[in-house]
Chains A and B, each alone.
Chain A
Amino acid sequence: MEFWKIAWRNLGRNLRRTLIIIFAIALGIWGALVTMASYNAFGFQMVDSFIYTDLGHIQIHAKGYQKNPSLRLCITDGREVLQEIKGASHLSGFAPRILTFALAQSARGSQGVFLTGIDPGLEPTVTRIRKFVKSGKYFESSDEPSVLVGKALAHKLKVGVGDKLTFFTQSFQGGEDVVENFRVKGIFQSGFSLIDKSVVYLPLAQAERIMGMQGRLNVIAITVDDEKNLDLLKADLKSRLSYQKPDLKIETLKPGPDGPGPSLLKISRTRFGQLLEAPEALAESFKLNPLVSALSLRLVLPATAHARDRNRIQRSLELDLYGLNPVNENRISGIFDKVELPSDSWLQGTEIDKELEANQEWLLLSQNAASSLEVRPGDTVRLVWDDKPLTLEVAGILAKGLDKKANQSFAVVNREQAWKAFPGHSQASEIALRLKENADPQKVSRELLAGLALETMDWKELWPILAQMTSLMDYTNLVFLLCIYIVVSFGIANTMIMSVFERVRELGILKAIGTTPARLFAMVILESVMLSMLGMAVGGLASAITIWVWARNGLDFSRFAAGLEAYGIPTVLYPVLTSKNILTAVLIALVMAVGSAIYPALRASRLIVVQALRRI
Chain B
Amino acid sequence: MAHLVSEGIRKVYQENTVATEALRGIDFKMEAGEFTALFGPSGSGKTTLLNIIGGLDRPTSGKVRLKDKEITGMKESELSRLRLFKIGFVFQSYNLIPVLTALENVEYVLVLQRLPKKERQERAIKLLEKLGLGELIHKRPTEMSGGEQQRVAVARAIVHFPELVLADEPTANLDTKTAHELMEMMARLNQEKGITFLFSTHDPMVMEHARRLVELRDGRITNDQIRS
Contact = CB atoms under 8 A, between A and B. Distances in A.
A511 B56 CA distance: 9
B56 A513 contact: no
A13 B89 CA distance: 25
Interface stretch (A28-36, A311-319, A502-510): A502-510
Interface string B69-88: 00000001100110111000
Given A2-B104, A6-B97, A13-B99, A514 B112 contact: yes
Contact of B83 (A9, A10, A512, A517): A512
A284 to B, nearest CB: 79
Interface in A563-601: none
B13 to A, nearest CB: 11
A517 B108 CA distance: 16
Nearest to B88: A513
Contact of B111 (A2, A9, A13, A505): A2
B97 A510 contact: yes
Given A2-B104, A2-B107, A5-B100, A514 B81 contact: yes
A10 to B, nearest CB: 6
B100 A10 contact: no
Nearest to B81: A514
A513 B100 contact: no
A610 B112 CA distance: 21
A506 B97 contact: yes
B110 to A, nearest CB: 9
Contacts of A511: 80
Nearest to A3: B111
A609 interface: yes
A610 B57 contact: yes
Interface string A6-19: 10011011000000
B104 A512 contact: no
A1 B80 CA distance: 20
A534 interface: no
Contacts of A517: 76, 80
Contact of A1 (B54, B56, B94, B117): B117
B56 A13 contact: no
B207 interface: no
A466 interface: no
A468 interface: no
B81 to A, nearest CB: 7
Contacts of B76: 517
B91 interface: yes
A553 interface: no
A500 interface: no
B95 interface: yes
B56 A609 contact: yes
Contact of B100 (A6, A512, A516, A609): A6
B156 interface: yes
A476 interface: no
Nearest to B93: A616
A2 B51 contact: no
B187 interface: no
Contacts of B155: none
Contacts of B89: 509, 512-513
B194 interface: no
Contacts of B81: 514
A82 B81 CA distance: 77
B83 A2 contact: no
A516 B83 contact: no
Contacts of A516: 77, 80
A509 B95 contact: yes
Given A1-B111, A2-B104, A613-B91, A514 B99 contact: no
A616 B92 CA distance: 11
A514 B109 contact: yes
B134 interface: no
Given A1-B117, A505-B94, A513 B108 contact: yes
A515 interface: yes
A513 B95 CA distance: 11
A526 to B, nearest CB: 13
19 contacts: A1-B117, A2-B107, A5-B100, A6-B99, A509-B89, A511-B80, A512-B83, A512-B91, A513-B89, A513-B109, A513-B112, A513-B156, A515-B112, A516-B77, A517-B76, A609-B56, A609-B57, A610-B51, A616-B94
Given A2-B100, A2-B111, 12 more contacts: A6-B100, A509-B97, A510-B97, A512-B54, A512-B89, A513-B84, A514-B83, A515-B112, A517-B80, A609-B57, A610-B51, A610-B57
**5 A-B pairs with the lowest CB-CB distances in the bound complex, closest first:** A514-B84, A9-B99, A2-B111, A514-B83, A610-B57
